[in-house]
Structure 1
């Protein structure tokens, strides 16, 4: 199927995956949304059949052959497909025959329903996270004011005391007040706007990897899986280092220093974060083989003060989400026993 420049621009701007097969049901065109959905480039997929692209899609292949033979369009809702990597997706599928000089070609539109559900879930997550942050920030301010008075009173009392044994008690009060003030400051979250400058995602990931590797996790394997083609982009590297470090440390603690963490970088095209669709986003996955996160915690894992560890503060992941949010991104999480995956998604704004 030959496309004019205008047709090509329209198809390449769509968020719907568009595939075109020739009369022999071999792929001749795939738009960027289709490349993202199938995790394959047009160059790699060109000339492949339906079942080469989508193993096990016998029904879809039969429907396409029927559309070629009958020259009749076909629509199927909630079609379940398995991608080459083993990931299952649910799509609405529209098949349209197109008469060409060389024979009938088939235009296939795949609208991923999982994607719409994900967008709705992300919007809800961002809204709830913002509400929770506002409540916690208000509480933190209420704690911070009397805490300063408590510390000041303890200092004055210490000056009035001659007995060193009694002074030890005031030092404990001052020390605990300082510890609580540090906790309150972390509850308040980042108080600076990001200082945007050109940065490289792999320098950020490597910096975090080196920090965690130096923290005496002798039996922890930190595995790299990088896409070297990711371009530099504008961000605050210090804030992104802090966000990623919180996530990787959280994974290391869940593994108790034994196991593996995969640090993976990729790009995704035509990706929607909240209400905004981006031509290109950078994706950083932190994958561990630990026990997993309880299902009842997954929906609130980024809320402040939510933790599954007795010694945890429940602030690390909340702060990480806030730092990524101010960059226009989001952190997602999925988990099952033996596989927990945190994904940082950031708009790739060119430098």
Structure 2
């Protein structure tokens, strides 16, 4: 559905599709139909602010979701893509845009949310059932290790220590896998505590927590001075950068290892790039790195990047992997206006 408005928000043009869907006639439009007339009152404040930003020049375009309202009072979810119309002097004189009905998409999102809730419950039950036996194995391993200290046969001790090491490492790997499965299940859920955060502070916390591998490998880390501010759950943003930076550290075998984190912002969309100067991602793996349980050569649990992709999608963004002098991960996060926008971004 295509539309145009003047600087005050009065609708000056809509195509026939829009007239049919909303139920308004050319006479209604000529009588002074405005953008507020076709948007539910619950979204009037948001659309008024969006129009104001376009007309005062603080934004050249916007993509927002609203609840549209037909002439008969029925409503439906929509996404509006809008840009300013300027005169020859460059002064904004109106808005031109496209409105798309996203009812079907919303139904699919609700079904996906239901599946995610069931997955979370399933993962919690499975992890609970698995943690018990793993705890027993770890306790038995510790007991066996103590008994081996009292053994006089050095050959038996050596063999026993090797077995104990295998048991310990395997049980720890199982624990990590359980935690990652839980994180993957929770990544599809709506954020818990949402606040405006300084992304630079989150990244600095990640780097502080990974100080040991950074110092051990002598990694040079370059981070943009400004990584923007975004309305989000701090834990989600931490998980995104922790997984990506962790990969950049783990798989970088360059004798002079480097990691870079950059940021750009345009029209409320934050674009980030996390890159390294290592060997890069094998060409045959590029399309599969975000699949759950996909493990490349010397891979971990195969869940880290799946968690990242789910979290990025939760905030209305996209992520892509490619090689350019090393592995590169570029992703976007939306600068959400209200906590309620997260579910509909």
Which one has the bigger strand percentage? 1
Q: Distance in 1 between matches of 2:106 and 2:281?
A: 24
Q: Distance in 2 between matches of 1:213 and 1:189?
A: 26
Aligned partner of 2:74 in structure 1 is none
Q: TM-score, normalised by structure 2?
A: 0.51
1:34 to 61, 64, 68: 61
SS of 2:260's partner is strand
Contact 1:137 1:187 in 2 (8 A): no
2:8 to 3, 24, 30: 3
Shift of 1:333: 1.6
Deviations 1:147-183 (A, max 9, x none): 3333344445556664154453564255235423432
Q: TM-score, normalised by structure 1?
A: 0.50
Q: Distance in 1 between matches of 2:304 and 2:174?
A: 16
List alignment gaps of at least 5 residues for structure 2.
Answer: 1-5, 11-32, 65-80, 340-345
Aligned partner of 2:180 in structure 1 is 187
Shift of 1:264: 1.0
Question: Do structure 1's residue 168 and structure 2's residue 161 form an aligned pair?
Answer: yes
1:147 to 134, 158, 171: 134
Q: Distance in 1 between matches of 2:82 and 2:142?
A: 65
Question: Do structure 1's residue 334 and structure 2's residue 286 form an aligned pair?
Answer: no
Contact 2:123 2:182 in 1 (8 A): no
Q: Distance in 2 between matches of 1:142 and 1:213?
A: 34
SS of 1:261's partner is strand
Distance of aligned partners of 1:144 and 1:160 in 2 relative to their CA distance in 1, 3 Å threshold: same
Aligned partner of 1:81 in structure 2 is none
Distance of aligned partners of 1:36 and 1:198 in 2 relative to their CA distance in 1, 3 Å threshold: closer
Aligned partner of 2:272 in structure 1 is 285
Aligned partner of 2:262 in structure 1 is 263
Distance of aligned partners of 1:264 and 1:303 in 2 relative to their CA distance in 1, 3 Å threshold: same
Aligned partner of 1:315 in structure 2 is 303
Aligned partner of 1:56 in structure 2 is none
SS of 1:264's partner is strand
1:208 to 206, 209, 224: 206
Aligned partner of 2:71 in structure 1 is none
Question: Do structure 1's residue 241 and structure 2's residue 230 form an aligned pair?
Answer: no
Distance of aligned partners of 1:319 and 1:177 in 2 relative to their CA distance in 1, 3 Å threshold: same
SS of 2:203's partner is helix
Deviations 1:165-202 (A, max 9, x none): 44535642552354234323423434898455663333
Which one has the bigger helix percentage? 2
Q: Distance in 1 between matches of 2:323 and 2:126?
A: 35
Contact 1:155 1:174 in 2 (8 A): no
SS of 1:347's partner is coil
Q: Distance in 1 between matches of 2:271 and 2:56?
A: 29
Q: Distance in 1 between matches of 2:304 and 2:179?
A: 9
Q: Distance in 1 between matches of 2:322 and 2:100?
A: 23
Shift of 1:245: 1.6
Q: Distance in 2 between matches of 1:140 and 1:244?
A: 25
Distance of aligned partners of 1:221 and 1:154 in 2 relative to their CA distance in 1, 3 Å threshold: closer
Distance of aligned partners of 1:252 and 1:138 in 2 relative to their CA distance in 1, 3 Å threshold: same
Distance of aligned partners of 1:223 and 1:125 in 2 relative to their CA distance in 1, 3 Å threshold: farther
SS of 1:186's partner is helix
Shift of 1:224: 1.2
Deviations 1:116-137 (A, max 9, x none): 9x99999999889888877766
Contact 1:247 1:342 in 2 (8 A): no
How many pairs are equivalent? 264
Question: Do structure 1's residue 199 and structure 2's residue 192 form an aligned pair?
Answer: no
Greater displacement, 150-159 / 242-251: 150-159
Contact 2:141 2:168 in 1 (8 A): no
Q: Distance in 1 between matches of 2:219 and 2:139?
A: 46
Distance of aligned partners of 1:224 and 1:186 in 2 relative to their CA distance in 1, 3 Å threshold: same
